[in-house]
């Protein structure tokens, strides 16, 4: 029964967490956006103390329930492992923990988090890895399916569905997502939860806590006949039937062992008082409790766990075209000295310190202006580019879905008063100068009136007009850059502000 309850809850979590990345309309976020906010690392970076305490208490009470019910990447691996199990049942065996590798990776993760090396910690963070896989590999298929439905609906005079653009926003991020999917799938297919118990830093950290959990699977020694059925169904490979021991730091509380044992020799039960905090089994009959080895890693637990939480917390506190029938050449991305990041991000520093590059904001952006960065300093984190659209004043979706506080929630009125960048005019690209054609696009479409046209030659009243930019009014929305007819580079583009400010 416990296993069935876990599977039902896990299925609900993985389905709706996936829909957060697939649903480009933003409808799902209104109901299930909280599922992103209760992920472990996003909760730490958002300094959501209530959620952090709840997840820690959940682990101390019931073991690594987070890994088997809440973490979408862990549940995804369970799905792959379940499919593999259809071909070969009872396929797992006990394997010793590779502690040196687990702790080394967690140490690298913590160090990269503290030093702000985004290219490392964004790749290792499990929720973000899952988000990249869904948004880069599965979302296009979902969108193509939507477009097919929209095609047929339109022919029946129905507008229940509408078409959306399907395109790869970053080849490098797409490749990393593909490699992650292949590696994680192979490990899950062959060995179940190897990724979670060897590579994942969140799994390693929660493993410290689960060694001290109040409830845990345990052997009933007088019923166990040593058949090994529990170990052969343990996807964490953490049960040694010879010694009748369970490595609780790797156990993900999946309940497979409890359900598969036909002798009721392994049960999910309250930890006995005679157990030490480091014990890996219930004392067998006739065993003197005094002979059980005392806890040797309590200080290690507190030191590592404190370092993990404190480092993340300290890091989190840093800074808190007009058409026509002719074919139009595609625009190219200008070389910006400073990236443009969304309103609500407060600036480059806050974005870099809190963003885990989960791609959730990129998935829901209706204007197609957010895409993963390929620069090392903000690797795979969102930045804005205006070849396919601009940041419309009425849209605040990215700030509504961010689970880490990298993009703080803003309202429509507040957004129009935030300057995220400054428009820059390149006179050699402007068609007024290159083609002697009068153009008014930038002035006409500027939502704040920051652009006005002035005489190119002040001495002649009838001279052609060129744009003049009022930096006090410009909010960096990119409307001028997007709607500029100059090709391949716009005659006016947006440079990002290091720190956003009010206009």
What domains can be seen in the chain, in order of their start residue?
A: 1-270 (no CATH), 348-502 (3.30.70.20)
Separation between Cα atoms, residue 338 and residue 165, nearest integer Å: 27
Angle, CA 99 vertex, CA 94 and CA 104 arms, to 5°: 145
First to last CA, the chain: 59
How much is the pLDDT for 118?
82
- Containing 468, the helix (H) or strand (E) segment is strand 465-469
Classify 18 as helix, strand or coil. helix
How much is the pLDDT for 307?
61
Classify 94 as helix, strand or coil. coil
How much is the pLDDT for 305?
57
Q: Are 416 and 449 in contact (CB under 8 A)?
A: no
How much is the pLDDT for 397?
93
Q: Are 255 and 268 in contact (CB under 8 A)?
A: yes
How much is the pLDDT for 286?
39
Separation between Cα atoms, residue 22 and residue 16, nearest integer Å: 10
Q: Are 265 and 220 in contact (CB under 8 A)?
A: yes
How much is the pLDDT for 400?
93
**Helices 201-210 & 49-62, crossing angle to 10 degrees?**
60
Separation between Cα atoms, residue 163 and residue 393, nearest integer Å: 23
How much is the pLDDT for 407?
95
Using alpha carbons, select from 168, 195, 160 the residue that is nearest to residue 75: 195
Residue 47's Cβ-count burial label (10 Å; 0-12, 13-18, 19+) is middle
- Containing 466, the helix (H) or strand (E) segment is strand 465-469
Separation between Cα atoms, residue 77 and residue 183, nearest integer Å: 11
Q: Which residue ranges in the chain fall short of pLDDT 70?
A: 273-328
- Containing 411, the helix (H) or strand (E) segment is none
Separation between Cα atoms, residue 252 and residue 52, nearest integer Å: 19
Classify 186 as helix, strand or coil. helix
How much is the pLDDT for 293?
44
The half-sphere exposure of 336 on its side-chain side, counting CA atoms within 13 A, is 27
Distance of CA 242 to the CA centre of its chain: 40
How much is the pLDDT for 197?
93
Handedness of CA 461, 467, 469, 474 (dihedral sign): positive
How much is the pLDDT for 321?
43
Other C-beta atoms closer than 10 Å to the C-beta of 287 total: 13
Using alpha carbons, select from 175, 183, 199, 128 the residue that is nearest to residue 363: 128
Separation between Cα atoms, residue 422 and residue 440, nearest integer Å: 19
Other C-beta atoms closer than 10 Å to the C-beta of 151 total: 11
Q: Torsions phi, psi of 442, nearest 5?
A: -65, -40
Residues 6+ apart with CB under 8 A from 452: 443, 467, 468, 470
How much is the pLDDT for 221?
81
Q: Are 494 and 424 in contact (CB under 8 A)?
A: yes
How much is the pLDDT for 276?
44
How much is the pLDDT for 281?
41
Separation between Cα atoms, residue 325 and residue 369, nearest integer Å: 24
């Amino acid at each position: 029964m416990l296993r069935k309850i876990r599977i039902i809850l896990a299925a609900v979590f993985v389905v709706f967490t996936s829909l957060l990345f697939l649903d480009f309309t933003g409808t799902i976020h209104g109901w299930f956006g909280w599922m992103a906010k209760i992920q472990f690392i996003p909760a730490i970076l958002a300094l959501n103390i209530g959620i952090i305490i709840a997840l820690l208490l959940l682990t101390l009470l019931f073991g690594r329930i987070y890994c088997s019910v809440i973490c979408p990447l862990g549940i995804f691996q369970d799905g792959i492992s379940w499919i593999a199990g259809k071909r070969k049942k009872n396929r797992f065996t006990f394997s010793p923990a590779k502690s040196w590798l687990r702790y080394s990776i967690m140490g690298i993760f913590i160090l990269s988090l503290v030093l702000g090396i985004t290219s490392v910690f964004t790749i290792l963070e499990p929720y973000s890895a899952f988000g990249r896989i869904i948004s880069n590999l599965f979302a296009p298929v979902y969108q193509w399916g939507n477009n097919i439905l929209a095609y047929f609906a339109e022919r029946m005079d129905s507008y229940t569905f509408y078409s959306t653009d399907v395109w790869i926003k970053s080849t490098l991020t797409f490749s990393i997502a593909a490699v992650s999917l292949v590696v994680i799938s192979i490990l899950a297919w062959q060995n179940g939860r190897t990724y979670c118990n060897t590579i994942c830093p969140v799994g390693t950290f929660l493993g410290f806590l689960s060694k001290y959990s109040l409830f845990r699977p345990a052997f009933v020694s007088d019923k166990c006949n040593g058949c090994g059925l529990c170990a052969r169904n343990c996807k964490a490979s953490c049960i040694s039937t010879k010694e009748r021991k369970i490595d609780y730091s790797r156990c993900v509380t999946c309940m497979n062992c409890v359900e598969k044992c036909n002798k009721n020799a392994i049960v999910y039960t309250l930890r006995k008082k005679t157990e030490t905090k480091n014990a890996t089994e219930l004392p067998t009959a006739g065993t003197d409790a005094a002979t059980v080895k005392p806890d040797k890693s309590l200080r290690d637990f507190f030191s590592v766990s404190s370092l993990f939480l404190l480092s993340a917390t300290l890091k989190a506190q840093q800074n808190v075209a007009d058409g026509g029938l002719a074919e139009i050449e595609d625009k190219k991305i200008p070389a910006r000295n400073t990236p443009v990041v969304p309103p609500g991000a407060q600036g480059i520093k806050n974005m870099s310190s809190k963003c885990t590059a989960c791609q959730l904001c990129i998935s829901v952006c209706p204007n197609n202006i957010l895409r993963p960065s390929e620069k090392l300093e903000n690797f795979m984190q969102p930045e804005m580019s205006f070849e396919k659209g601009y940041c419309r004043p009425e849209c605040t979706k990215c700030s509504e879905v961010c689970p880490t506080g990298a993009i703080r929630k803003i309202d429509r009125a507040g957004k129009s008063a935030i300057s995220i960048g400054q428009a820059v005019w390149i006179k050699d690209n402007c068609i007024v100068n290159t083609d002697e054609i009068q153009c008014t696009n930038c002035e006409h479409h500027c939502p704040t009136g920051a652009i006005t046209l002035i005489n190119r030659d002040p001495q002649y009243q009838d001279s052609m007009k060129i744009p003049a930019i009022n930096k006090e009014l410009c909010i960096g929305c990119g409307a001028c850059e997007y709607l500029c007819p100059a090709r391949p580079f716009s005659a006016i583009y947006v440079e990002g502000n290091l720190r956003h400010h009010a206009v």
